[in-house]
Amino acid sequence: MRGKKGTERAAYFVCAIALAKEGRALAIVADRVDGEILEAPRGAGGFGYDPVFYFPALAKTFAELAAEEKNQRSHRGKAFGKLLAALSSML
């Protein structure tokens, strides 16, 4: 990533979840979150790429977000929200 600027630093995380029972797919959901890769890490929370994944909507890295804030906006949080909605529609 050295020397990359602007759109060359664009990145996204994707989460896909499949729920199955007895070999039959009950729900398949996915979501993504867009951001960019910073040149230096920021923040102490999260794991993996969180300190370098910058989320422009909040002007913070994922490592700088509170857990609740991250869960509402992350690829995993949004995908699990879709899964919960799919499950509640099955009841």
Whole-number CA gyration radius for the chain? 16
CATH of the domain at 15: 3.90.950.10
Task: Let me know if residue 11 belongs to a domain.
Answer: yes
Q: How far apart are CA 40 and CA 13, in angstroms?
A: 18
What is the domain count for the chain? 1
pLDDT digits (tens, 9 = 90+) for 24-63: 999 999 999 999 999 999 999 988 999 999 999 999 999 9
Q: Is residue 11 very low, low, confident or very high in pLDDT (cuts 50, 70, 90)?
A: very high
Amino acid at 20: A
Amino acid at 78: K
Its pTM stands at 0.86
Q: How far apart are CA 28 and CA 49, in angstroms?
A: 25
Task: Let me know if residue 1 belongs to a domain.
Answer: no
Query: What is the sign of the dihedral through the CA atoms of 77, 83, 88 and 91?
Result: negative
Q: How far apart are CA 18 and CA 26, in angstroms?
A: 8
